[in-house]
Amino acid sequence: MSQAQSSSANSADQLQRFSFDNTDIRGEITHLNASYRAVMTRHQYPKVIAVELGQLMAATALLSASLKFAGRLTLQVRLPGNVSLLQAETSDKGELRAIARYDAGLAEQELSFDNGQLVITIEPEQGQKYQGITAIDGGNIAAAMENYFEQSEQLASRFWLECDGDNAAGFMLQKMPAMDSSDADAWNRLTQLADTIKPEELLLLNNEVLLHRLYHDEAIRIYQPSELKFFCTCSKARLATALTQLGYDELDDILKQSGKIDVSCEFCQQHYSFDRPQVDALFPQRNPH
């Protein structure tokens, strides 16, 4: 990687890992620019939802490095109020997508995180699905992530998540378990320094500048970044599978009324159309010929 590329690091959608020598502490920084805007251009979310969804996408990107196998990781914030769901997904290839469900009347109220749940689902392409659920009691997405790691993984973790409605960024520090550390005070010192990050610094500074500003007295090791991008996994075949859940009679009614069935992917708004022969083909038992 050339110097010019690395100095403009935060214009790219990427995840970058770092670690501190002689400690058991590692960290990650993510920037979501084009991938965040790809989600926002497909939906007209109220600002409060757009900002929270950006933070959730950043949290998801930070967790994507933990996918060591082919598969998907989904983060959901489930809430009892007007905003019922914030969801962001990533794959081992760094592909991101996100969606929110909310009452149209919500407008621009404050979003409450009381009595919610944070749900982390990991779906390997091969093998067992894993799901972890942690209660959310106030706070924000970063606090919910920290609780999740404390309770489910017994890992001390800190998250700093920012979104200004145009870009999203995340910063994470994590203390790895059961490693000998010659620097007992490191966790307090490194997290206190990270607490001084201003939102605009996390959003706008490139990683090396930010890490130097925070940790110029530390022996820090910065690894090659990996790319992130918006990508939707929808396909006509997947939408067809979803349509069959409605049952033949309901699809038949729609076909009688309008001659075709129009559906859009709720994530990316890609449009798919099914005519009668295509619907009939979904129910082979009904059409033995």
In the list 265, 272, 274, 279, the residue contacting Zn ion (rule: CB under 5 A) is: 265
Of 171-179, 187-195, 196-204, 234-242, which part binds Zn ion (CB under 5 A)?
234-242
Give least dist CB 2 to Zn ion, A.
35
Query: Does the footprint of Zn ion cover residue 144 (CB under 5 A)?
Result: no
User: With CB under 5 A as the contact rule, which of the stretches 87-95, 167-175, 263-271, 272-280 interacts with Zn ion?
Assistant: 263-271
C-alpha dist (Å) from residue 148 to 144, 153, 158, 161: 6, 7, 11, 15
Q: Which of 73, 168, 232, 243 binds Zn ion (CB under 5 A)?
A: 232
Regarding 268 and contact with Zn ion (CB under 5 A), the answer is yes
Nearer to Zn ion (CB atom), residue 73 or residue 232: 232
Based on the shown chain and the rule CB under 5 A, indicate whether residue 230 belongs to the binding site for Zn ion. Answer: no
Q: Give the span between the Cα atoms of 29 and 128, in whole angstroms.
A: 29
Concatenating the DSSP letter of every residue in 140-200 gives -HHHHHHHHIIIII---EEEEEEE-SS-EEEEEEEE-TT---S-TTHHHHHHHHHTT--HH
DSSP-assigned letters across all residues of 40-81:
HTT----HHHHHHHHHHHHHHHHHHTT--SSEEEEEEEE-SS
By the rule CB under 5 A, 45 interacts with Zn ion: no
CB nearer to Zn ion: give 168 or 268. 268
Least CB distance from residue 259 to Zn ion, whole Å? 24
- State the amino acid at position 32 in one-letter form: L
Is residue 234 a contact residue for Zn ion (CB under 5 A)?
yes
Cβ neighbours of 199 (radius 10 Å): 13
Residue numbers at the binding site for Zn ion (CB under 5 A): 232, 234, 265, 267-268, 270
